[in-house]
Chain A
Amino acid sequence: MTTKLRGKSAIVGTGHAGFGEAHGLTAYDVMAQSALAALGDAGLKLSDVDGLFCTMMEDSMPALMAAEYLGIQPRFIDGTMSGGSSFVNYLTSATMALEAGLCDVALIVYGSNQRTASGRLVTASRPPAYEAPYNPRYPISAYAMAAARHMHEFGTTREQLADVAVAARAWAQHNPEAFERGPLSREDVLGARMVGDPLTVRDCCLVTDGGGAIVMVRADRARDYPKAPVYVLGSAAESSHRQISQMKDFTVTAARESGARAFAAAGVSPSDIQAVELYDAFTINTILFLEDLGFCAKGEGGAFVEGGRIAPGGVLPVNTNGGGLSCVHPGMYGIFTVIEAARQIRGDAPGIQLKDVDLALAHGNGGVLSSQVTAILGSQNTL
């Protein structure tokens, strides 16, 4: 069942800034540069923005901080913080706000300087009281335990996990915007420093600086801008827990529900999708989300990714920019799944541009597999 929001909003601008190392810049500086890049892409100005959708890692009131920094006074803001999925989630709230006339130009924006500021994940989030005494390394211990359980139940191997990282790197090697473009083999991943069994440092996303931004308008105005509009055909969320110890089944995420509803809203199915952009904070994420979103059956994700099947020239293009594993990962990666999906549809992807992409999927993950948000984006042809 499609919803009445199908195709009612469109992305008319994307932008990014500070990829890799943004020396001398604060997180809000990178946020603002990203906003300017996206608005420039759309042929709009900051003064046109009347809806702001933003969260950051540093503060408890980041949307207000961002609006103040940008010198705008938005009439609609959404600062919902569900971790890295927040920015995919904003596609829903921005579409609703635009369609309801609560704003006319929606800016979704994020920025971080975590690499040059500290070299590790910066978060204002407190460790959960019933987990903190055991010193889990946040967030890797959570994902390591999900991977361990997947291996135990389905026989998934460390080699299959490694192949996710190898595929991401193969895409990144064609993307001049990607941070890590050197060669990476399965043996390199397996032989890298173990940080949280069964995950080595190469099973983990990068720690980089960077920001991203998206400009959205109502569909009826979407063809008035320089770039081909990319329509939001369906978006859906589901939240299952906050602490990893509370996850009911460590091998099944709420992406099963968010994906099913996003596909239904868009009126398409996994086999229609031409580019899949997943939040790959760790190699196990890609396997879990491919299963839960319906690209393969539960438990078959390991075999699905094995031996280059999601790499360039494989059976399914996944994380075509190199993903959080090899392109960019500034604390929260979610916005980049949307940007890459949109650019594949527009035909101006920075790395390998797939041929004639009309339908792409962006999937955001937040917390420790806690919040799952799926969006289906489409070209003019899909309306």
Chain B
Amino acid sequence: MPDATGPDQIFQRALTNGEIMLPRCDDCGAYHFFPRVLCPHCHGTAISWHPASGKGRVHTTTVVRQKPERGGDYNVCVVELEEGVRMMSRVEGIAPGDIVIDMAVTAFVGGAEGQSAVLFKPAEV
């Protein structure tokens, strides 16, 4: 299998290895997410990859209500990472209704819909 070259491939390949890597623009120094071939802030094209700190806060959150026989209620949220980027995710290890805006969370690589994905758990205080 050839090496990962495209931005999506690089991100997904890292995830399957249990790592969360974030793209950062070499020109302006800002992180961005989702991965792409240019920086959405300054439109530079020199992008390098850096391990995420994993620290974040819940920016906003909702509970998708679903009947128990179909899997029950679950969380969908948008987390803002310490690096300044936001991503959709969910917080696990806590009831979906107990997740609140500004809650400190820590990222981990887990499974979602049969693929590796960035998930979060409440940060340990």
B-binding residues in A (CB < 8 A): 129-137, 141, 144-146, 148-149, 152, 193-198, 243-246, 250
* Chain A neighbourhood of B61, CB < 8 A: 145, 148
Q: What's the nearest-Cβ distance from chain B to residue A90, in Å?
A: 28
> Taking CB as reference atom, which chain B residue is nearest A197?
B63
Q: Is the CB of B113 within 8 A of A245?
A: no
Interface of B is mostly: strand
Contact with A along B49-76 (1 / 0, CB 8 A): 0000000000111111100000000101
**What would 15 A/B residue contacts be, using CB atoms closer than 8 Å?**
A132-B113, A134-B90, A135-B76, A136-B64, A137-B76, A141-B76, A144-B62, A145-B60, A145-B61, A146-B60, A194-B63, A194-B65, A195-B65, A197-B62, A244-B78
Residues in A with CB closer than 8 Å to B89 are: 134
Q: How far is the CB of A183 from chain B (nearest CB, A)?
A: 25
**A145-B115 contact in complex given A195-B65, A196-B63, A244-B88, C-beta closer than 8 Å:** no
Pairs A-B, 6 closest by C-beta atoms:
A144-B62, A133-B112, A245-B88, A145-B60, A197-B63, A149-B60
> Is B29 part of the contact surface with A, judged by Cβ < 8 Å?
no
Query: Which residues of A are found within 8 Å of B62, using beta-carbon distances?
Result: 141, 144-145, 148, 196-198
Task: Return the contact of A137 from the options B33, B34, B64, B86 (Cβ within 8 A).
Answer: B64
Chain B residues, CB < 8 A from A195: 65
Give 20 new A-B contacts, CB below 8 A, not counting A135-B64, A141-B76.
A129-B8, A130-B33, A133-B112, A134-B88, A134-B89, A135-B74, A136-B64, A145-B60, A145-B61, A149-B101, A195-B65, A196-B62, A196-B63, A197-B63, A197-B65, A198-B62, A245-B78, A245-B87, A246-B34, A250-B59
Q: Which of A131, A137, A144 is within 8 Å of B88, CB to CB?
A: A131
